[in-house]
């Protein structure tokens, strides 16, 4: 259950960003979670709700973008989604392809109401 | 409504500290390894076998993570190497800051190999970089050969998988070839060793693996300009 810590890190980053936008209210934070990130979206949502309840971020929505594993092919350059651990290139059939992404645990963006940047 | 791009790692503070640790390990030629498994797969037992069998002159040190007790550290102290417990007080994984804090009074020049025993947990420790040169995942033969597919993250992130308790193979329906194939499905380049901590089978190969990695860490050490 490290989702509590993950949720906390997300909220810290949100607060840090909001400090730069004094006249705005945060609405939604979007995070990307790869299938290899070892983070369970449901329990992250649960922890996020528990940590924001009754705080100034109670209305903040957590949007999770799940990211599948992507590999790329050294033979033909194609990039493709790996389904069911089948690493063969979907374009040319090459057996040995390389990992590109799928372990993301990233903050993508923060949406807010009446944006006013306090820094240039 | 406005959208501000953030584009940063959720665990960027952990990753920053881990990056500093990795640079320090590199500078001092210290090989750092992060042992991860479900509770009871044999991490402490493997460390006992390692400390008892290290080649003469190789200086090991161990950090052991535990939620509540210091039992593992107590088991390991009798071998005469530096051992320090990290009691996480409920947290299900070690993070880079805990490592940094517990290394404060250790001289890395006096440590060739730093072994970190993570908290028994096959999921959470996978997310936290500790600055290690390699994560090592342990899977015992009593856990079932499907575990790499059920917990792909840790098998994907580990350089080495150690299948432990092989002495129990006659008593459990564990298809070791299938387990290894499953690990390679998740991570085609993963290295695999088979070990019994009880009989000592495979310990020699494990020590050889360690020495090879240690040689690589030394070769990567920046040449001193002094
Ligand atoms: N038969 C057999 N038993 C083993 C082997 N390795 C460990 N055990 C036993 O498995 C139990 C757990 O071993 P530990 O080394 O404490 O496991 P651990 O991964 O350190 O456990 P936690 O730190 O609690 O997560 C102990 O009773 C060990 O004696 C092995 O190779 N064969
Ligand atoms: Mg242990
Ligand atoms: Zn191709």
| Residue B63 resides in a domain | yes
| Residues of A whose CB is below 8 A from B6 | 13, 17, 107-110
In a domain, B142, yes or no: yes
| CATH, residue A64 | 3.30.2320.50
CB within 8 Å: B153 and A109: no
Distance, CA of B13 to CA of A9 (rounded, Å)? 9
* Mean pLDDT of all residues in B153-160: 97
**Residue B225: band (very low, low, confident or very high) from pLDDT cuts 50, 70, 90:** low
| CATH number of the domain bearing residue B123 | 3.40.50.300
Kindly give the distance from the C-alpha atom of residue B19 to the centroid of ligand 1, in angstroms, as a whole number.
Answer: 31
Residue B66, min C-alpha distance to chain A (Å): 15
Residue with tokens 């250790």: B106
Q: Kindly determine whether residue A6 and residue B6, on different chains, have CB atoms separated by under 8 Å.
A: no
Q: Indicate whether B15 pLDDT > 60.
A: yes
List the single residue in B4, B95, B127 with the smallest CB-CB distance to A105: B127
Whether B187 is in a domain gets the answer yes
| C-alpha A84 – ligand 3 centre gap (Å) | 18
Chain B residue with the nearest C-alpha to that of A99: B187
B225 in a structural domain: no
Query: In sequence order, which residues have a C-beta less than 8 Å from that of residue A9 and are 6 or more positions away?
Result: B10, B11, B13
- At A115, the pLDDT band (50, 70, 90 cuts) reads low
pTM: 0.92
Looking from the CA of residue B119, the nearest atom of ligand 1 is 25
**Residue A7 belongs to some domain of the structure:** yes
Contact residues on chain B for A6, CB-CB shorter than 8 A: 10-11, 127
Mean pLDDT of B20-46: 97
Task: Note down the domain range covering A58.
Answer: 3-68+102-114
- pLDDT band at residue B70 under the 50/70/90 scheme: confident
Structurally, how many domains does chain B consist of? 1
Report, as an integer, the average pLDDT of B4-29: 95
Task: State how far the alpha carbon of B140 is from the alpha carbons of B33, B44, B188, B202, in Å.
Answer: 19, 13, 20, 14
Overall number of domains in chain A:
1
Residue A120: pLDDT over 50 = no
- The answer to whether the beta carbons of residues B190 and B162 sit under 8 Å apart is no
CA gap B18, B129 in Å, rounded: 6
- Average of per-residue pLDDT across B201-220: 94
Say if residues B120 and B39 touch (Cβ distance below 8 Å).
yes
Report whether pLDDT(A119) > 60: no
In a domain, A87, yes or no: no
Count Cα neighbours of A78 within 13 Å in the Cβ-side half-sphere: 16
The reply to whether ligand 1 has any atom less than 6 angstroms from the CB of B40 is yes
> What average pLDDT does the segment A76-85 reach?
94
Does B224 map to a domain?
no
Ligand at minimal distance from the CA of B121 is: 1
- Whether A51 and chain B come into contact, CB under 8 Å, resolves to no
Distance CA B27, CA A27 (A): 45
Mean pLDDT of A50-72: 96
pLDDT tens track for B102-119: 999 999 999 999 999 999
In a domain, A51, yes or no: yes
**Average pLDDT score over residue span B150-156:** 95
Nearest to B11 among A9, A35, A114 (CB): A9
Say whether B6 and A115 touch across the interface (CB within 8 A): no
Give me chain A's average pLDDT, please.
92
Residue B213 neighbours by CB under 8 Å, 6+ apart: B31, B33, B133, B134
Which of B1, B2, B5, B93 would best serve as a mutation to test chain A binding (most A beta carbons within 10 A)? B2
Residue ranges making up the domain that contains B156: 3-217
Closest Cα of chain B to A87: distance in Å? 9
Strand boundaries in chain B, DSSP class E: 2-9, 31-37, 60-66, 83-87, 113-117, 134-140, 158-164, 191-194
Task: Give the pLDDT confidence score for residue B224 in this predicted structure.
Answer: 63
Share of chain A above pLDDT 90, in %: 83
Distance from Cα B72 to the centre of ligand 2, integer Å: 5
SS3 A109: strand
Specify the pLDDT at position A114.
79
Helix and strand tally (H, E) in chain B? 8, 8
Whether B45 lines ligand 1, by a CB cut-off of 6 Å, is yes
Q: Is residue A64 part of a domain?
A: yes
HSE, side-chain direction, 13 A CA sphere, residue B82: 18
At residue A1, the pLDDT reads 66
- With a cut of 90, say whether residue A42 has pLDDT above it: yes
A82 within domain boundaries: no
B17 located within any domain: yes
Which of B39, B189, B209 has the alpha carbon at shortest distance from B124?
A: B39
A39 C-alpha to center of ligand 1: Å? 27
Segment B170-177 mean pLDDT: 97
Tell me B29's DSSP state. Answer: T
- Give the confidence band of B56 by pLDDT, cuts at 50, 70, 90: confident
């Amino acid at each position: 259950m490290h989702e509590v810590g993950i949720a906390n890190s997300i909220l810290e980053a949100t607060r840090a960003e909001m400090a730069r936008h004094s006249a705005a209210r945060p609405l939604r934070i979007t995070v990307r979670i790869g299938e290899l990130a070892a983070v369970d979206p449901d329990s992250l949502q649960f922890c996020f709700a528990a940590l924001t309840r009754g705080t100034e971020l109670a209305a903040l929505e957590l949007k999770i973008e799940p990211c599948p594993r992507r590999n790329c092919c050294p033979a033909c350059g194609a990039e493709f989604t790996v389904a069911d651990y089948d690493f063969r290139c979907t374009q040319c059939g090459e057996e040995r392809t390389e990992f590109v992404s799928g372990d993301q645990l990233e903050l993508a963006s923060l949406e807010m109401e009446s944006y006013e940047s306090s820094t240039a | 409504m406005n959208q501000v791009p953030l584009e940063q790692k959720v665990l960027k503070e952990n990753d920053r500290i881990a990056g500093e640790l990795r640079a320090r390990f590199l500078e001092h030629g210290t090989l750092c390894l992060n042992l991860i498994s479900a509770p009871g797969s044999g991490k402490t037992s493997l460390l006992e076998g390692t400390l008892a069998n290290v080649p003469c002159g190789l200086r090991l040190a161990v950090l052991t993570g535990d939620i509540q007790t210091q039992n593992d550290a107590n088991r390991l102290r009798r071998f005469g190497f530096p051992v320090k417990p990290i009691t996480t007080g409920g947290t299900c994984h070690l993070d880079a800051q805990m490592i940094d804090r517990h290394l404060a009074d250790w001289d890395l020049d006096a440590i060739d190999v730093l072994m970190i025993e993570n908290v028994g947990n096959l999921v959470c420790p996978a997310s936290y970089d500790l600055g290690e040169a390699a994560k090592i995942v342990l899977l015992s033969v009593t856990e079932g050969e499907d575990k790499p597919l059920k917990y792909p993250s840790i098998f994907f992130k580990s350089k080495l998988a150690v299948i432990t308790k092989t002495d129990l193979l006659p008593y459990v329906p564990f298809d070791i070839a299938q387990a290894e194939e499953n690990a390679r499905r998740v991570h085609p380049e993963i290295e695999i060793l088979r070990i019994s901590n009880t009989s000592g089978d495979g310990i020699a190969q494990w020590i050889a693996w360690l020495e090879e990695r240690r040689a690589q860490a030394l070769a990567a050490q920046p040449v001193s300009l002094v």
